Structure 1
Amino acid sequence: MISNGRDPRIDFFRGLALIFIFWDHVPQNPLAHLTVRNVGFSDAAEIFVFLAGFAALLAYGKIARRDGYLVACVRILRRAWVLYVVHIFLLALLMGIVFFANSQVETRDLVQEMGLQYFLTHPQQALVDELLLRFKPNLMDPLPLYILLLLGLPLILPMLLHKAEYVVGLSVLLYLLAPWFQWNLAAQEGGVWFFNPMAWQLLFVLGGAAAIHGQRESRPETRALSRQPLFVTCVVYLLLCAVIALSWKWPALHDAFMPKLLGEWLYPISKTNLSPARLLHFLAMAYVVAKLLPNGIWLDHWLARQSRRMGRYSLEVFCFGVLLAPLADMLNAQAGDAWPVQVSSALLGVALMAALAGWLDLNKRLGRPAQVVAA
């Protein structure tokens, strides 16, 4: 059962997801081979969205019960507004950094790779699209998705707190209908959102439902994990996904052992519409990890504490990672993509993200007494 406080595993895995997102978005980064996307169909994006729903329900559900639904809605809308303002300023900073980095690299066009060419060719329309959340260069997709999911939370919060199974059922229905009817939101130049909100809302809702379920009393499982059918099924599926994902590195081997019927069902594995294979992989992984890593002393390890601190300040750390990624890419390109520099830039970026979280945590603790006195 989750305590009244914040489940430390939420912060730990959010921090880990932030590290994976940063590494996955630095081209030719050797440490990107250590991220979750290399051993399955899902990646850090699923972790981030699911835990965002989990944390949101813990926070705003508590406010709704204590202060009322109206107060919770005001808090949610205020948070969404903060995220919207952050998105605008972050995109401006990202463009400045990418334009600077591009001037330092002669072998590649970083502006084109980051999806910022649209701003150069259509600056006025790009500014309008930015305000409407339609202009989303690389690395900027998760934040608009989170804003939209938060804006929708007040619509489902009361029912989610009392009849979560009904909300999950409606969410699954929307998830299934979205690709069938090609429901998505418009993006720049006639495109659509890379993270289709109609599909990805399911992960957010499932995260919220998991938070509600975790607050209820339940009998502990006395059987060994090897005798629990659901756990065994999830492990088998994860192993199968890992074998298929690893085989992508050797196309000839993949084509040799992949059954044709399985390949026709499996591919393409859409990230935009959150393919069922991706969704099932993440859910199986989350279930197995939750069973194998309950709350315990492992969360007090120094490295775990750093990840937890990053997870507590996920918005600030995510934005900082977005700005660090093109700088790490520039550093690697200037060094001729030498692997010692690539590893060093990846580790340095994580160290800076952890340092930011540490500074924010220290600043919060130092400011708390003053706030109490002022109150």
Structure 2
Amino acid sequence: MHDRIATPKPLVGALPELKGSGRDLRIDACRGIALWCIFLDHVPNNIGSWLTLRNYGFSDAAEVFMFVSGVTCALAYGKARWCGGWTGVIGRTLWRSWDIYVAFLLLTLGCAIMVHFAGSGHLADESNTRILLEQPGVTFAHAAILQYRPVNTDVLPLFVLYHLLFAPLLWLLLRVPNATLGASLLLYALVHVFGWTIPAWPSNHWFFNPLAWQLPFVLGAWWIIEGKRFRPWVTSHTALVAAVLYLAFSLIIALSRSIKPLEALVSQALLELLYPMDKSNLDPLRLLHFLALAVLVVWFVPRNWRGLTTAVMRGAILCGRNSLPIFCIGVLLSLASHLALLDISDGLTMQIALSVGGVLVMIVAAMLLNLIKTRQQPHAKPVEQPTRFELVVNLKNLKTAKALGVHILPTRFTRTDEMIE
């Protein structure tokens, strides 16, 4: 998500660089909006889901969330590499993996407790928690080794694995970025050819196959390191036209499945060929749809886009900066909303109230978390002048720092507590 540098004039209004810590607010905004969409999509039969991507094309918020996570990991761990070397990178990846792992186990327990007190047998089946309630010991043991996952929690085990493996991935990306992306593409292709996956329990099925969904994650990290060379092509008119045409095609196909007047425009044979679209293994049509969306974002949303200052975008930014707790809150909110639709009312008013209320709860929670973080931060200390030895050592890594977008000042070093992830 870099600024486009091609010659076309900006197609939206811009304002001077936003003040702050220097982070790209588009990253937080995209991740926050993706979290809202994931919540809305997880509530069954919810009119709020018509505000999300999945009804207007082949992909949905999952691809956005995975790609942006790769971007933030490259930025955060790249800065850790600059400040603390590979020891710092490994330490931070292990710590972050542990955070996500603990959050996953607590979320699993939270889902089971909520379903248990709701007393809904139907919901226990839909949320895949019945086996946890009936066989808690063996089921939680499989959850502890990431083989069992309640519905809607599937993405967290992926991030446990991806963060654990990010240090060697970053090492490869810094040395052979295109070959690393090529290996990721090859693995993705082999998954579709041979059906490779990782063992799961009780059925051998991952809703998000880690071997396939690693591609948008790696692609996001690769873009931070190597994307500058390919940005002129992404910002070309050819890429824009191709993206718009593909998005228009996917829009017509997706809407024809839910809007009857459009059915006559689309061949039934074509629909049968395209659907069902494999989300577990990231169908290539879904991947292409996400890439087309990314081209439009690069074209129409510059880094200093005026819309980032609006109240809605600021709410999204706050949610994006606290992605792990907000994701967990969103999963529990979607489960509670499902219960409300089953036990209270499934009317249109209730659907709208639950959708709006859930997003507002996520924003308020993000504001509170941000306030807590701000109060816990130590007071700024005077910046000390680096020693000659520190300058010599760090200048050796100048090329790596530039590739990762780290700005080097002669009297200051980037702090790891400013990292995005």
Q: Which moved more, 1:85-94 or 1:329-338?
A: 329-338
Q: Does 1:270 align with 2:272?
A: no
Q: Please, which of 171, 176, 190 is the counterpart of residue 189 of structure 2?
A: 176
Q: In the alignment, what sits opposite 2:109? A: 92
Distance 1:129 1:252, change over 3 A: farther
% same residue: 38
Q: In the alignment, what sits opposite 2:129? A: 116
Distance 1:290 1:337, change over 3 A: same
For 1:270 and 1:48, the matched residues in 2 are separated by 18
Letter in 2 for 1:146: F
C-alpha offsets along residues 313-339 of structure 1, whole Å, 9 cap, x if unaligned? Answer: 000100111111111122222332121
Q: Does 1:307 align with 2:316?
A: yes
Q: In the alignment, what sits opposite 2:351? A: 342
C-alpha offsets along residues 20-48 of structure 1, whole Å, 9 cap, x if unaligned? Answer: 00001112211111100000111111111
Q: Which moved more, 1:263-272 or 1:142-151?
A: 263-272
SS in 1 for 2:202: helix
Q: Displacement, 1:185?
A: 1.1
For 1:255 and 1:170, the matched residues in 2 are separated by 42
Question: Are the aligned partners of 2:255 and 2:262 in contact in 1 as well (CA < 8 Å)?
Answer: no
Q: Does 1:297 align with 2:297?
A: no
Structure 2: gaps of 5 or more residues: 4-16, 383-421
Q: Displacement, 1:370?
A: 5.8
**Paired residue total:** 364
Q: Displacement, 1:187?
A: 1.5
Letter in 1 for 2:239: L
Q: Displacement, 1:220?
A: 7.1
Q: In the alignment, what sits opposite 1:27? A: 44
Q: Displacement, 1:85?
A: 1.2
Q: Please, which of 219, 244, 249 is the counterpart of residue 235 of structure 1?
A: 244
SS in 2 for 1:109: helix
Structure 1: gaps of 5 or more residues: none
Q: Which moved more, 1:77-86 or 1:12-21?
A: 77-86
Q: Which moved more, 1:344-353 or 1:248-257?
A: 248-257
For 2:360 and 2:36, the matched residues in 1 are separated by 10
Q: Displacement, 1:258?
A: 2.1
Residue correspondence of structure 1 range 1-375 to structure 2 within 5 A: 1=2, 5-101=22-118, 103=119, 109-213=122-226, 216=228, 228-250=237-259, 254=263, 257-258=266-267, 260=269, 262-263=270-271, 266-295=274-303, 296-369=305-378
Question: Are the aligned partners of 2:253 and 2:266 in contact in 1 as well (CA < 8 Å)?
Answer: no
Question: Are the aligned partners of 1:20 and 1:32 in contact in 2 as well (CA < 8 Å)?
Answer: yes
Question: Are the aligned partners of 1:61 and 1:161 in contact in 2 as well (CA < 8 Å)?
Answer: no
**TM norm structure 1:** 0.90
Q: Displacement, 1:82?
A: 1.3
Structure 1: 4+ residue segments shifted above 4 A: 1-4, 216-221, 250-253, 262-265, 370-373
Distance 1:253 1:369, change over 3 A: closer
Letter in 2 for 1:337: D
Distance 1:6 1:162, change over 3 A: farther
Question: Are the aligned partners of 1:58 and 1:211 in contact in 2 as well (CA < 8 Å)?
Answer: yes
Q: Displacement, 1:52?
A: 0.4
Question: Are the aligned partners of 1:321 and 1:349 in contact in 2 as well (CA < 8 Å)?
Answer: yes
C-alpha offsets along residues 85-128 of structure 1, whole Å, 9 cap, x if unaligned? Answer: 11111110111112223x2x6xx711111111222343332121
C-alpha offsets along residues 243-271 of structure 1, whole Å, 9 cap, x if unaligned? Answer: 000011157954772273x4565333100
For 2:297 and 2:36, the matched residues in 1 are separated by 18
Question: Are the aligned partners of 2:247 and 2:292 in contact in 1 as well (CA < 8 Å)?
Answer: yes
For 2:101 and 2:264, the matched residues in 1 are separated by 45
Q: Displacement, 1:170?
A: 0.4
Distance 1:338 1:77, change over 3 A: same
For 2:307 and 2:273, the matched residues in 1 are separated by 40
**TM norm structure 2:** 0.81
- The Cα RMSD (Å) is 2.4
